Amino acid sequence: MYLPDPVLACIDALEAAGYPAYVVGGCVRDACLGLTPHDYDMCTAALPEQTESVFAGLPLVLSGKKHGTVGVVSGGQVVEITTFRTEGSYRDNRHPEWVEFVPDIEQDLARRDFTVNAMAWSPYRGFADPFGGREDLEHNLLRAVGDPVRRFREDSLRILRGIRFAARFGMTVDTETEQAMFSQRHLMDNLARERVFSELCSILPRITSADLLRFAPVLTQVIPELAPLVGRDQKNRHHIHDLYAHTALVVEHCPPELSLRWAALLHDIGKIPCQTMGPDGQAHYYGHAAKSAEMADDILHRLKAPTALRQQAVILIEKHMTLPLPEKKYLRRHLGKLGWETMDALLTLQEADTLATGTAHAAELALFAQVRSLLAEIRRENACLTLRDLALNGHDLTALGYRGREIGTALNHLLNLVLEEQCENTREALTAALKEKSP
């Protein structure tokens, strides 16, 4: 296993002082998979004070010392070195009551979440894999270390982490581990909402529709508003899937961009409260886009999502039923209101929503290709879409004698003329249009 020079130097120093030292966890897992690790965690038999002594000549970061971690600044980076340890009972299903340092690597690995993360390697001592993590990797199997119920009761965030690993590496979850995920999912109610949001943001870009369906018991625990969608017949000839399965397919059909995938996940949560039945026995969902946007806003507030992500997801949900017309006038107006990025994301969400009905005809899907072709033309034309794009600005109108609110009114009038193709966006044409409007 390749180790960066600063990490190797730390192992060398600890071993020279008589303390076994390993890299551990995710970096070993990734190396076994042929991936380049993003960071390297180290563990050692040295107590924190002994680690300090070994690296006394280097700058140290001691903020994690009480938990056994000493940061060594080596080669311009911080290498975190943690003493082998075991942990006591967990309070609030997240934090251990106490930490006890232990002398050997196997005891340390026994406290970890999944076997694929419970491996260590040393250039001096070789591979430590007491729980069969390497074999599980070879079989694409995600399995908890020891008793999975105990693992998840210790830290219920591990349930979401398990979904993340399964989604990221395309792994099957061991049956006993999966059953424990489901039976202990209520413990996630104790988690800080921002931790839940962070894990969901790591899961959503990678997850497939099959995994969204399989892990529905977990996902509906952390977002209860999704629960009524599961198995819900849409009672509409335009949909062949139940509401949750449709949602899962929309997520999968969207590219792995966070605000877009959040919008896909939450785009139809307002359907059930908006459902009405027609005389033909078909369900209708009038106003569900606005209701879904309102509910999504509440959910993302609760999860403490960043404002920009929340606002982008909400506007996509709110507009997702307003299908675009393949007309330049229409598209220019909407571009002026939404901007290029939001317009492109909205089109992507609408296409994914159409595909996920399971009943879409070729003509419906052709609409999106037409609209994208027209948008490309508008982009090439460098069209005037907003007040900033007008060839006249507020200073120009002031020079022409306009004052106060007259300026804004006149500029908006000119923009409407340009968007409706009734006037060219040139100083001469716009000035002439103002003169025509004046009494």
pLDDT category, 386, cuts 50, 70, 90? Answer: confident
Look at residue 76 in the predicted model and tell me its pLDDT.
84
Percent of the chain with pLDDT over 70: 97
Question: Averaged over 279-304, what is the pLDDT?
Answer: 96
User: How far, in Å, CA of 78 to CA of 120, rounded?
Assistant: 19
Question: Averaged over 69-81, what is the pLDDT?
Answer: 92
Question: Averaged over 290-302, what is the pLDDT?
Answer: 98
Q: Which burial class, exposed, middle or buried, applies to 23 when counting CB atoms under 10 A from its CB (0-12, 13-18, 19+)?
A: buried
Do residues 253 and 225 lie in contact, with contact meaning Cβ atoms separated by under 8 Å?
A: no
pLDDT category, 391, cuts 50, 70, 90? Answer: confident
311: CB partners within 8 A, 6+ apart: none
User: How far, in Å, CA of 301 to CA of 236, rounded?
Assistant: 32
Look at residue 429 in the predicted model and tell me its pLDDT.
87
User: How far, in Å, CA of 323 to CA of 327, rounded?
Assistant: 12
H-helix or E-strand containing 22? strand 21-24
131: CB partners within 8 A, 6+ apart: 109, 110, 115, 118, 145, 146
Do residues 25 and 1 lie in contact, with contact meaning Cβ atoms separated by under 8 Å?
A: no
pTM, two decimals, is 0.86
Please tell me which residue, 70 or 379, carries the higher pLDDT value: 70
Do residues 137 and 29 lie in contact, with contact meaning Cβ atoms separated by under 8 Å?
A: yes
Amino acid letter at 101?
F
Structure tokens of 213? Answer: 């369906």
Look at residue 140 in the predicted model and tell me its pLDDT.
96
User: How far, in Å, CA of 238 to CA of 353, rounded?
Assistant: 11
Look at residue 424 in the predicted model and tell me its pLDDT.
85
> What are the pLDDT digits (tens) for 166-214?
999 999 999 999 999 999 999 999 999 999 999 999 999 999 999 999 9
Structure tokens of 434? Answer: 């103002």
Question: What angle, 0 to 180 degrees and rounded to 10, lies between the N-to-C axes of helices 405-419 and 427-437?
Answer: 120
- The closest alpha carbon to 269, from 248, 233, 296, 238, belongs to 296
* DSSP single-letter state for residue 391: S
| pLDDT surpassing 90 at residue 48 | yes
User: How far, in Å, CA of 394 to CA of 435, rounded?
Assistant: 16
Do residues 40 and 120 lie in contact, with contact meaning Cβ atoms separated by under 8 Å?
A: no
Please tell me which residue, 379 or 149, carries the higher pLDDT value: 149
Do residues 304 and 195 lie in contact, with contact meaning Cβ atoms separated by under 8 Å?
A: no
Look at residue 180 in the predicted model and tell me its pLDDT.
98
pLDDT category, 81, cuts 50, 70, 90? Answer: very high
Look at residue 9 in the predicted model and tell me its pLDDT.
94
H-helix or E-strand containing 354? helix 340-355
| CA distances to 248, 299, 389 from 302, in Å | 22, 5, 38
H-helix or E-strand containing 260? helix 258-266
* DSSP single-letter state for residue 423: S
Question: Averaged over 91-116, what is the pLDDT?
Answer: 81
- The closest alpha carbon to 104, from 73, 126, 128, belongs to 128
| pLDDT surpassing 70 at residue 93 | no
Phi, psi dihedral angles at 147 (to 5 degrees):
-80, 115
- The closest alpha carbon to 322, from 273, 274, 287, belongs to 287
Q: Give residue for tokens 């690790």.
A: 37
Question: Averaged over 21-48, what is the pLDDT?
Answer: 95
Q: Which burial class, exposed, middle or buried, applies to 353 when counting CB atoms under 10 A from its CB (0-12, 13-18, 19+)?
A: buried
What rounded mean pLDDT belongs to the chain?
92
Look at residue 157 in the predicted model and tell me its pLDDT.
96
Look at residue 96 in the predicted model and tell me its pLDDT.
58
Look at residue 394 in the predicted model and tell me its pLDDT.
87
pLDDT category, 67, cuts 50, 70, 90? Answer: confident
| CA distances to 226, 228, 315, 349 from 272, in Å | 11, 8, 20, 20
| pLDDT surpassing 80 at residue 263 | yes
Question: Averaged over 252-262, what is the pLDDT?
Answer: 97
Do residues 305 and 296 lie in contact, with contact meaning Cβ atoms separated by under 8 Å?
A: no
User: How far, in Å, CA of 431 to CA of 206, rounded?
Assistant: 53
Query: By three-state DSSP, how is residue 254 classified?
Result: coil
Question: Averaged over 412-422, what is the pLDDT?
Answer: 85
Structure tokens of 134? Answer: 């390497």
* DSSP single-letter state for residue 304: T
Q: Give residue for tokens 């581990």.
A: 177
Look at residue 32 in the predicted model and tell me its pLDDT.
95
- Alpha helices, H only, 33-183: 48-54, 105-109, 133-138, 148-154, 157-169, 175-183
Q: Which long-range contacts (CB under 8 A, 24 or more apart) does 325-329 make?
A: 326/367, 326/370, 326/371, 326/374, 327/374, 328/374, 328/377, 328/378, 328/421, 329/419, 329/420, 329/421
Q: Give residue for tokens 């969608």.
A: 229
Q: How many helices and strands, by DSSP H and E, does the chain display?
A: 22, 15
Question: Averaged over 386-412, what is the pLDDT?
Answer: 87
pLDDT category, 91, cuts 50, 70, 90? Answer: low
Look at residue 425 in the predicted model and tell me its pLDDT.
85
User: How far, in Å, CA of 214 to CA of 208, rounded?
Assistant: 10
> What are the pLDDT digits (tens) for 319-360?
999 988 898 888 988 888 898 899 999 999 999 999 999 988
